[in-house]
């Protein structure tokens, strides 16, 4: 099984706007990311500079390619949860809808969910299994865009 990821490092170095469902995420971004997931799910590629495409790589990913592909084939769209979206930086209160990356979570078994981060071209950045009971006590809310204040 695969566990853990390089996601924290990615979040620390991301230079655009980062949205999380537990902080603030505009509905239009969720809809766009869901459309992207539907488009990508049957043609998922695993991007890696160390080995041939669609092979496991311990240097940059902690997933099993076959496990992820099998899980993607079985998942019902109603069971997916878009939980993080990264866009290009937006200098105003309106979110930029040019998605760079997004994270999706869906059931794997009774104890675990599959987590996948996609690039905007459909390649997988990273993927892992996460326990369903993980309640994100370590979520650093300062890294994410807050709900904009509506001015009168």
Which run of H or of E encompasses 63? none
Structure-model confidence comparison of residues 95 and 150, the more confident one: 95
- pLDDT(50) > 70: no
Exposure string of 126-145, with b = 16+ CB inside 10 Å and e = fewer, is bbbbbeeeeeeeeeeeeebb
Q: Exposed (0-12), middle (13-18) or buried (19+): which is 76, by Cβ within 10 Å?
A: exposed
Question: Which residue matches tokens 């230079």?
Answer: 15
Picking from 130, 89, 113, 104, the residue whose alpha carbon sits closest to that of residue 36 is 104
Percent of the chain with pLDDT over 70: 71
The pLDDT, as a whole number, for residue 58 is 53
What pTM, to 2 d.p., does this model score?
0.77
Calpha distance 137→16 (Å, rounded): 24
Q: State the Cα angle at 43 between 84 and 56, rounded to 5°.
A: 80
> Where is mean pLDDT largest: 26-30, 50-54, 118-122, 126-130?
26-30
And the tokens for 51?
A: 């080995």
In three-state secondary structure terms, 114 is strand
The pLDDT, as a whole number, for residue 14 is 66
Percent of the chain with pLDDT over 90: 35
* Bridge partner list, 128: 115
């Amino acid at each position: 099984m695969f566990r853990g990821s390089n996601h924290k490092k990615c979040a620390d170095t991301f230079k655009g706007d980062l949205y999380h469902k537990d902080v603030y995420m505009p509905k239009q971004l969720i809809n766009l990311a869901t459309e992207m997931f539907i488009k990508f799910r049957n043609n998922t590629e695993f991007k890696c500079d160390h080995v041939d495409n669609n092979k496991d790589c311990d240097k940059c990913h902690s997933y099993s390619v076959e496990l992820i592909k099998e899980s993607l084939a079985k998942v019902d769209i109603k069971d997916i949860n878009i939980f993080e979206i990264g866009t290009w930086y937006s200098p105003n209160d309106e979110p930029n809808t040019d998605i760079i990356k997004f994270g999706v979570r869906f059931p794997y078994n009774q104890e675990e969910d599959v987590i996948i981060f996609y690039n905007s071209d459909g390649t997988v950045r990273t993927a892992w299994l996460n326990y369903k009971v993980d309640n994100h006590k370590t979520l650093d809310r300062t890294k994410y865009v807050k709900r904009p204040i509506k001015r009168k």
